[in-house]
Amino acid sequence: MEQYKQEFIEFMVDCQVLKFGDFVTKSGRNTPFFVNTGFYRTGAQLKRLGEYYAKAINDKFGLDFDVLFGPAYKGIPLSVTASIAISDLYDKDIKYCSNRKEVKDHGDKGILLGSPINDGDRVVIIEDVTTAGTSIQETLPIIKAQGNVEPVGLVVSVDRMERGQGTKSALSEIEENYGLKTTAIVTMAEVVEHLYNREYKGKVIIDDKLKAAIDKYYEQYGVKE
């Protein structure tokens, strides 16, 4: 596993973004782990988060694209911090763009924030965690309405590796349904691999009992591919 992935897993633990216990997801699933990106709350945290996204984007898609699009609302700061990180790490100037929930009819008019999207632009979409496809259904029409635009891919922070609407993962379904490449900074399999029976800051985060609970969860909700 790449060093930046290991660092990102520990970073999520430190920021209390990645938690283990007894939780209920939006879809009503009882889960032994939870990812809440709302716990990235400081400038220093966002700076590091942007760097991890930049490395994942470069690994999967390279830097031959024009716009980093972050859907409102959580995608807005992600598009900003990741585009800054791409500039700092790779000396590549990528435009950032997001959408408004409501169209603005005065001043800086329209539905977009940041850079406009122009004919011929190649666009990477950035989001927080794996989506079941609902957000993409809303985002792609906005991007494609701007002209002859090529959506290149989607990057999220964590792939929960759960089934989407069918038997495949949500990210796999997005690739299949929309022809969009997808990637994540880390997958939950990588999280478990890195933390299982390993002491971090004086504590074993995933012990045998928690590992058994995670395995049981994936037996019920994991990808069947």
Q: Which long-range contacts (CB under 8 A, 24 or more apart) does 112-117 make?
A: 112/146, 113/76, 114/79, 114/80, 115/67, 116/146, 117/67, 117/69, 117/143, 117/146, 117/147, 117/149
Closest Cα partner for 156 from 63, 24, 60?
Answer: 60
Closest Cα partner for 135 from 184, 174, 80?
Answer: 174
Two structure tokens written together for 88: 């700092």
CA distance 101 to 104: 9
In degrees and rounded to multiples of 5, residue 131 shows phi and psi of -110, 150
CA distance 2 to 165: 31
Q: 26, 101, 106, 201: which one is catalytic?
A: 106
Active site residue 194: no
Two structure tokens written together for 201: 């800051």
Closest Cα partner for 126 from 60, 65, 26, 57?
Answer: 57
Closest Cα partner for 149 from 32, 88, 69?
Answer: 69
Catalytic residues: 104, 106
